[in-house]
Amino acid sequence: MTITDSRASLAPSETGVRDILNPSTGEVIRSVPEHGAADVDRAVAAAREAFESGPWATLRPSERSHVLLRIADEIEASTEELFRLEALNNGRPVTETRAQLSRVPEWFRYNAGLLAAQRTAVLPSDGPYLTYQRRAPLGVCGIITPFNHPMLILARSLSAALANGNTVVVKPSELTPLTTLALLPVLERAGLPAGVVQVVTGAAEAGRRLTEHPDVAKITLTGGTETGRSAAVATARRFARMTAELGGKTPVIVFDDVDPREAAEGAAFSAFVAAGQSCVAGSRFLVQRGVYDAFVEHLTARARAIRIGDPTSPDTQMGPLISARQRGKVAALVDSSREEGATISTGGSVPELHGDLTQGFFYAPTVIADATMRMRVAREEIFGPVAVVIPFDTEDEAVAMANDNPYGLGAGVWTHRLDRGHRVADRITAGMVWINDHHRLEPSLPWGGVKDSGIGKDAGLESFDEFSWLKTVVTRIARDSVDWYGGAGIERLN
């Protein structure tokens, strides 16, 4: 079985199949089962059986750590096939998928290291007591991943869940399941016991059932805000844990002490990487008036120079959007900005391409100038290659504009004054802030937002600990017995 031919690892479904499209051409890559609620029930039951019967949950931490390190090695050996498959499935250029997937093994190694170094506390107690803590796996965990970064986002949660001894049911986006399926034989080769990771390839019905299932102890979800709200209600009913990375409308503040060309070139990455299909995409640029015109000019020039085309070509810098539906949503929002009085500095249309690419879901890198905070494009998540540029005058005004949004996932600040950079970062309501950079991530950096952008953290020690529960053990070590009702001299009521 090759890495891209993992059909034998996936259970069929009675509800039919779904065609998986290449968003660059609209052609069918392959078909996968359209799993529904009953299929999720079977997957959860299998994961529960694997958890309860072992051996994964009962392995010594050092043994689980070794398996995670082997998984990292196997992924590294398979990176070439994996990043090409991801580029084919979600349309991101191979230059992006190669760079992103080459980092996936880091998450397994990081969590293997946390497991190997894990310590629990001995707690202070009055009297003759030894009090200590132990950690135990939660059981079956559900991971729901999006279309934009299928492997990386899966690795963040999967590595931490497995390190702690849990079994996992994964539901990838119905649009981009192929690299998740390709991971199954990789895990098998690394020595992960059968049944520990289950995959279901359905759409909303499968995701809803996974969040509602009484045997799922934790849900990690990356997706839209309304989906996250529904999942939060479902998990709260049974007091299950939940981590959710949801929508974003990332502000990028550009102050007039930076070179506008330098800021525009750096900011272009935040707006157009992954064709803008990222929750932390720099979608609204708040630019100080003194450099506003120059910034728009340089950002426009950079956007026009981006090479759009076949994502499998190393020369391509931007691929298509994930679907015709998503392209329609982006186009409608851009059109609304025209109606509201903004200026389309570049883009705002379907690019002219040739051959099979004419059937793909491409949209030109777009810069919208002369925008205001009241416009839809300045308030709603676009999830496409669209940069909205809005002027401001003072630092206080910039901070107020940045925080004037229901989302709070990420933010960027461009300034050469470090006092200002740290001060503004401290005042912005967001889970992550980058100064003079964007979208920088490491396995050790907790990832997640506030407000409508979600709850909890992925990555870092915070995520690792959320995949286990803490037990406190109190042991009386005195020789004499305890007799509250018949003894003498007992002064403390336990």
Catalytic residues: 245, 279
- Residues 402, 425: Cα–Cα separation, whole Å: 11
Show the tokens assigned to 430: 């967001």
* Spatial contact of 154 and 143, defined as CB atoms under 8 Å apart: yes
- Residues 385, 372: Cα–Cα separation, whole Å: 19
Closest to 423 in 3D by CA, of 444, 396, 450 = 396
- With tokens 């929750």, the residue in question is 279
b/e sequence 237-252, b meaning 16+ C-beta within 10 Å = eeebbbbbbbbbbbbb
* Spatial contact of 249 and 407, defined as CB atoms under 8 Å apart: yes
- Residues 425, 14: Cα–Cα separation, whole Å: 51
Q: Residue 63: how many CB atoms within 10 A of its CB?
A: 12
* Spatial contact of 200 and 169, defined as CB atoms under 8 Å apart: yes
Show the tokens assigned to 402: 């940045």
Instruction: Compute, in degrees rounded to 10, the torsion defined by CA atoms 154, 155, 157, 160.
Output: 160
Angle of helix 61-90 versus helix 178-190 axis, rounded to 10: 150
